[in-house]
Amino acid sequence: MTDIIRLDPHDPLPEATPYALVIRRFGEDDPNAVITEIDFTGPDPTMAVAIGAGGQSLDWEGAVQAARKEAAHRGYPTLYAVDRTAGAREQAIIHRHGDHSTHDDALADTDEEDGEAGTTIFDRGHDAGFMR
């Protein structure tokens, strides 16, 4: 059976591979989106969005158990589970329907190496690698 190690919302991900991971996070370019992914690293890396057999999104615990079953099938001894939306600030963002500002301060979300600055896709320049 695959063991589950539950990480706190801001814990770093493991560096050594191979590992199995289920992660819940905000969408990169949509502050309203919450995405749950299941990742397998190692010689045959794969990633999938956590979708149930009927095509519906799995809730957090359903995604963890589905990832555990797949990890056991693939022979991974450990599954890491981290809900990046579970922190206090992240919960406030969810309750504000994706508004990432706090105390009237805008959230700094930049990736200068990729030419991305701002909290959403609309704050970024025309040369940031995508069309508006």
SS (H, E, C) the chain: CCEEEEECCCCCCCCCCCCEEEEEEECCCCCCCEEEEEEECCCCCEEEECECCCCCECCHHHHHHHHHHHHHHHCCCEEEEEECCCCHHHHHHHHCCCCCCECCECCCCCEHHHCECCCCHHHCCCCCCCCC
Measured between alpha carbons, how far is 64 from 12 in angstroms, rounded to an integer? Answer: 18
pLDDT at position 21: 92
pLDDT at position 6: 94
pLDDT at position 79: 92
Q: What is the pLDDT of residues 55-64, one digit of tens each?
A: 567 788 988 9
- Provide the whole-model pTM: 0.65
